[in-house]
Amino acid sequence: MKSMIQPWQLWAVLSAAFAALTAIFAKLGVEQINSDFATLVRTLVILATVSVIVWGTGQWQELPSVSGRTCLFLVLSGLATGASWLCYFRALKVGEAARVAPIDKLSVVLVAIFGAAFLGERLSIANWTGVVLIAAGAVLVALRP
């Protein structure tokens, strides 16, 4: 019997669940400290956790085995991630988690637009309708009552 859920879908749902917990835990974590320092602590925890996973599962690769192009895009991705986290924690420091997180999730909309513009990904009319609904939903959730 064929599985009802694909592996990528399971991982994506788990990602969403952990992202939700991230917002709640981060909001509580930045209450009494500087948001940039909170981002540093979070980053160190992630670095340690992923290091143990990569080392423990034997996935370590020597850097010379990674192409320059791959390194460039991973460095750019890391810089974008760092900037995103710094901005996210600052937003959580001064805003409500239930309003900050939906605006942060406008990244879904931007990924669809960037994927189509820069990666040549094609979305159907139904997909674009979903993108518009996600954008509208994020804005509606973030509005003041």
pLDDT in tens, the chain (145 residues): 577 888 989 999 999 999 999 999 999 999 999 999 999 999 999 999 999 999 999 999 998 999 999 999 999 999 999 999 999 999 999 999 999 999 999 999 999 999 999 999 999 999 999 999 999 999 999 988 7
What's the confidence (pLDDT) of residue 3?
Answer: 75
pLDDT at res. 123:
97
pLDDT for the residue numbered 145: 73
Q: Are 98 and 105 in contact (CB under 8 A)?
A: no
Look at the alpha carbons of 134, 140, 141, 143 in this order and tell me if their dihedral is positive or negative. Answer: positive
First to last CA, the chain: 47
User: What tokens appear for 86 in the block?
Assistant: 């710094």
pLDDT of 1 reads 57
Question: What's the confidence (pLDDT) of residue 127?
Answer: 98
Nearest CA-CA partner of 105 in 127, 125, 126, 84: 84
So what's the pLDDT on residue 4? Answer: 83
